[in-house]
Chain A
Amino acid sequence: MFDLGELYHDIIFDHNRKPRNFRKFEGANRMAEGSNPLCGDQITIYLHLDGEVIRDISFQGSGCAISKASASMMTDSLKGKTRAEAKVFFDKVHKMLIGEIDTKSDLNELGELTALSGVCNFPNRVKCASLAWHTLRAALKGDETVVSTEETIET
């Protein structure tokens, strides 16, 4: 059955209303822009990468509740993490969004981000939730082209 609460978890509303790390910061040494041309969502991710460690991360942009909450939770989760740890998060979030998460423990490790676990039942919203993550990956790679949800994305 179809349950709206499955998608719009309270945590999503909270992050949508009060997005964390929603700012541009001086001293960012990595930046990437992402867009979902189909719904007009746009996001910019700012990173301060200190060697392998993400010292600071923030975002700006406009988008739906799902995309904004996903970006907000992502910045919360990754501050202080290494690039390799961020990659693990990316992979797990990706699997969760397409409904292919392996084990419950994998899900638990995602913490608050599990609020996005209902997205897999709404295929046309997967792009909303994954935009920030693909943009992050471009920022980590130092790729300055604009990330689009309409390009083939390798998993």
Chain B
Amino acid sequence: MTTISNAITSKTCQDLPTPTYFDVGKVRQDFPILKEKVRGKPLVYLDNAATSQKPQVVIDTITRYYLAENSNIHRGIHFLSERATRAYEDARLKVKGFLNASSTQEVIFVRGTTEGINLVAQSYGRAFIKAGDEIIVSAMEHHSNIVPWQILCEQVGVRLRVIPINDNGELLIDEYERLLNAKTKIVSVAHVSNALGTINPIRQIIEMAHRWNAPVLIDGAQAAPHLAVDVQDLDCDFYAFSGHKLFGPTGIGVLYGKADLLEKMPPYQGGGDMIRSVTFEKTIYNTLPYKFEAGTSHIAGVIGLGSAIDYLGRIGLEKIAAYERGLLAYATDVLSVITGVRIIGTAKEKAGILSFVLNGVHPHDIGTILDCDGIAIRAGHHCAMPVMERFGVPATARASFAFYNTKEEVDALVRAIHKVIEVFG
């Protein structure tokens, strides 16, 4: 039985140019919260998979918007409205560049990855997926990439099929091959697993689904902050990510969709901005991308996200990926030699996430003791209960990294884990 090989997705990792010097001390200066003390100790923030911290430039952009630019978009004829509209559409252009989409029409602003997936499930799903059809997800999905499909399954009588994973937390490609058939109407998988850190070979997954004419949605929530994404190169049909995990504000995210698919999909919500004309007899919908942006958007959020994308562009995602790869390898090495620690998720290709359990100590207790040392991790099932079941654990402790984390912080984590072991004897 083959598992997905790293040769496929890891273009983003393996074809990286030799990393130039990355000054972590300098980038840390960009994030004011990292100077905070927690319980009298310097903050060690290792909960980036839950949400990331925000650089000063993003905070300033949002503040400036509310101080000097606040206005509704696409409707006012006054100066501020024009300025806000321009800033909003500029941000869309930045997202287009970030994903290498072929057009800004393909960039839909949503509340986050979850809403992006729900949009596709309800709009594409209800229009093009019928009773007796099949949807494929994987065993390592976040609940957000399971439940929207289950809702659709209940609504239209579709069967949800699941790609299994091996003990390392890698998808079983042979099993996926067997699941694909003429009834497969969409495949929806994570680019990077939030509970295990596995980087899935999405290029191969997409190519295989396309042989059966099934479109593919990629949940990019955990990938966008760590890996360069090129939706045209991947040939993916939909790609969703969240702004708040990408050093931008909460409440804003992006759904990328191929224009021809978005064109034929019905609107997800009705309201302002998504219509061209309304009479009580007939409503004509607006063109893309506005057809899917009903109501006043989170304008400040969009502009803040644009600022975060600019910020990342200045550092360079390749540099970030290379630095983080070194940091994760270091963290994996030093944690795995601690007696009693078992790492959950040992895929060959991983990004940003180190989930672990400690013999005889519940992750919740680990979390509290680490918190006493100012170290923020997450303890729980990470909204991926099927993953916990697969590995036979009720929960894990999860350290998740961003490019502003350091080896010294990993060392602090290790010292705190030793303290947990000492306390629990």
Contact = CB atoms under 8 A, between A and B. Distances in A.
B364 interface: yes
B39 A40 contact: no
A135 B379 CA distance: 23
A63 B368 contact: no
A38 B379 CA distance: 9
20 contacts: A2-B39, A2-B40, A8-B365, A13-B424, A38-B380, A39-B362, A39-B363, A39-B394, A39-B395, A40-B385, A40-B388, A40-B394, A40-B395, A64-B362, A64-B363, A65-B361, A66-B365, A122-B368, A125-B364, A128-B364
Contacts of A63: 362, 364, 394
Contacts of B361: 65
A115 interface: no
B423 A8 contact: yes
Contact of A65 (B365, B380, B381, B388): B365
Contacts of B379: 39
B362 A65 contact: yes
B315 interface: no
Contacts of A40: 380-381, 385, 388, 394-395
Contacts of A39: 362-364, 379-381, 394-395
Contacts of B423: 4, 8
A65 B381 CA distance: 17
B96 to A, nearest CB: 38
A153 interface: no
A1 B40 CA distance: 8
Contacts of A62: 362, 394
A116 to B, nearest CB: 14
A4 B372 contact: yes
Given A13-B425, A64-B364, A122-B368, A41 B394 contact: yes
A42 B389 CA distance: 14
B369 interface: yes
A53 interface: no
Contacts, number: 52
A7 interface: yes
Interface string A33-45: 0000011111000
Interface of A: 1-2, 4, 7-8, 13, 38-42, 62-66, 122, 125, 128
A80 B364 CA distance: 32
A7 B368 contact: yes
A43 to B, nearest CB: 12
B362 to A, nearest CB: 4
A1 B361 CA distance: 25
B100 to A, nearest CB: 38
A150 B219 CA distance: 27
A13 B360 CA distance: 12
Contacts of B368: 7, 122, 125
Interface string B352-391: 0000000001111100110010000001110001001000
A13 B388 CA distance: 26
Nearest to B372: A4
B344 to A, nearest CB: 13
Nearest to B362: A64
Interface string B88-122: 00000000000000000000000000000000000
Contacts of B388: 40
Contacts of A7: 368
A42 B362 CA distance: 12
Contacts of A2: 39-40, 372
A63 B368 CA distance: 14
Interface string B400-425: 00000000000000000000000111
A64 B385 CA distance: 17
B361 to A, nearest CB: 8
Contacts of B39: 2
A64 B365 CA distance: 6
A13 to B, nearest CB: 7
B362, B369, B380: which has the most chain A beta carbons within 10 Å? B362
B40 A42 contact: no
A4 B395 CA distance: 22
A42 B40 CA distance: 34
B9 to A, nearest CB: 30
Contacts of B362: 39, 41, 62-65
Contacts of A122: 368
Contacts of B365: 8, 64-66
A61 to B, nearest CB: 10
